[in-house]
Amino acid sequence: MKKSWQIFWHVFVWVCIMSFFLVIINASNVISVRSMMINIVLFGVVNISLFYLNYLLFIPLFLNKKRYSVYALGIIITIVAYGLGKYGIAMFFKEDVLTHSKSMHEKGAQLSFLQFFISTLFTSTIFVLLSVLLKFSVDWFLNERIQRDLENQRLTAELAFLKSQINPHFLFNSLNSIYSLAYQQSENTPDAILKLSEIMRYMLYECNDNKVDLTKELQYLQNYIDLQKIRFGNKAYIDFKVDGQVTDQKIVPLLLIAFIENAFKHGIANDMMTPITMFINVNQQHLQFYIQNKKHANNRDAIGGIGLANVKRRLDLLYPGKYNLDIRDEIDTYTCELSLVL
């Protein structure tokens, strides 16, 4: 909060408090306007000065530094000094301050020094406690905000790190695929490089926001699948369907690619009888993703790696309580189902 706003709220609260007491005392109709103004304004200013003396000086110098004995001694001496000072002021306005009023026209008994002093000690202690309460409340809210900011910074850094892992991981797998095509002197190598460049352009320039258009993300997935088909010489059997109306929905970028990468890396894609099956059902608020692949006999224990661990952590951070991930690692098949609130 800006300094000017802090000053404004402090002044506003004190004006409200003093106005409240003025109304209460005036309603009682037992003291004159002069006595009321002297008691409220004069002693109000004295008590408020004690409030800020403790708030701005004693607490930062002693209490915050855990010098409790020095703080307690300083407060006691200050309260006593204020009490004596108030009595000195009261002596100048003896009839208005030290005299009980039975009514507007009848004067009562005069307060003794001890009676007045005890009442001022009580009032001063209240103002000191209020300043301590305010200071601890402000510090608590500031610490809470600092902790939230630090936690947000930590999560942002972790997400940036997780996202940075995706590009090298994806690039490593894609370059392996293109290397295989080049090694075989396949005529599809230029098309594969072109597809890869389109994919990398999306990853570098379109994925800088926290969320992207679902249409762009689905096109990215399609480009990746096309790249894999080129790698397999158009002999990859993939059943990829999108059902539902894709309009202006948003999704965290690069969230589904890890499942598809694993399906190609660890699954069998060139078997017509057991194609890699991918299905996406989407409406305005929900997305259902399903993928299943048949596992290589010699690669059944290699499922996972960086990709799935990465996506699980990103789901925890970006969709807490808004997703359900079901992974079934069976003897011959590997199935992932993700339900997501967009």
For the stretch 75-85, pLDDT in tens is 889 988 888 88
In a domain, 181, yes or no: no
Single residue among 147, 177, 211 that ends a domain in this structure:
147
pTM exceeds 0.75 for this model: no
> Are 119 and 255 part of one and the same domain?
no
> Are 255 and 134 part of one and the same domain?
no
Give the pLDDT of residue 163.
59
The amino acid present at 238, given as its one-letter code, is: I
In a domain, 154, yes or no: no
Is the pLDDT at 73 greater than 50, yes or no? yes
Is the pLDDT at 289 greater than 80, yes or no? yes
> Are 130 and 248 part of one and the same domain?
no
pLDDT digits (tens, 9 = 90+) for 27-44: 545 555 566 666 666 677
Give the pLDDT of residue 279.
93
Q: Which of 180-184, 299-303, 337-341 has the lowest mean pLDDT?
A: 299-303
> Are 221 and 308 part of one and the same domain?
yes
Q: Which of 19-28, 123-132, 277-286, 289-298 has the lowest mean pLDDT?
A: 19-28
> Are 209 and 106 part of one and the same domain?
no
Place 301 in a pLDDT band, splitting at 50, 70 and 90.
Answer: very low
Nearest partner of 35 among 88, 86, 83, 100, judged by Cα = 100
Single residue among 95, 128, 147 that ends a domain in this structure:
147
- Dihedral (Cα; 277, 283, 284, 285), 10-degree rounding: -70
> Are 115 and 204 part of one and the same domain?
no
Is the pLDDT at 288 greater than 90, yes or no? yes
In a domain, 269, yes or no: yes
> Are 242 and 291 part of one and the same domain?
yes
> Are 93 and 191 part of one and the same domain?
no
Place 105 in a pLDDT band, splitting at 50, 70 and 90.
Answer: very low
Place 104 in a pLDDT band, splitting at 50, 70 and 90.
Answer: very low
Place 338 in a pLDDT band, splitting at 50, 70 and 90.
Answer: very high
Place 303 in a pLDDT band, splitting at 50, 70 and 90.
Answer: very low
Give the pLDDT of residue 27.
54
In a domain, 54, yes or no: yes
> Are 132 and 232 part of one and the same domain?
no
- CA-CA distance, 323 to 314, in Å (whole number)? 11
pLDDT digits (tens, 9 = 90+) for 42-53: 677 888 888 888
Nearest partner of 334 among 305, 295, 306, judged by Cα = 295
The number of domains in the chain is 2
> Are 198 and 122 part of one and the same domain?
no
On whether the CB atoms of residues 286 and 298 are closer than 8 A, the answer is: no
Nearest partner of 31 among 109, 91, 106, judged by Cα = 106
In a domain, 152, yes or no: no
CA of residue 69 relative to chain centroid, distance: 38
In a domain, 280, yes or no: yes
On whether the CB atoms of residues 158 and 140 are closer than 8 A, the answer is: no
In a domain, 30, yes or no: yes
pLDDT digits (tens, 9 = 90+) for 109-125: 677 778 778 888 888 88
> Are 193 and 313 part of one and the same domain?
yes
Single residue among 117, 147, 177 that ends a domain in this structure:
147
Give the CATH number, domain containing residue 194.
3.30.565.10
In a domain, 164, yes or no: no
Q: List CB contacts of 310: < 8 A, sequence separation 6 or more.
A: 162, 165, 166, 169, 258
> Are 91 and 207 part of one and the same domain?
no
Q: Which residues span the domain enclosing 293?
A: 186-341
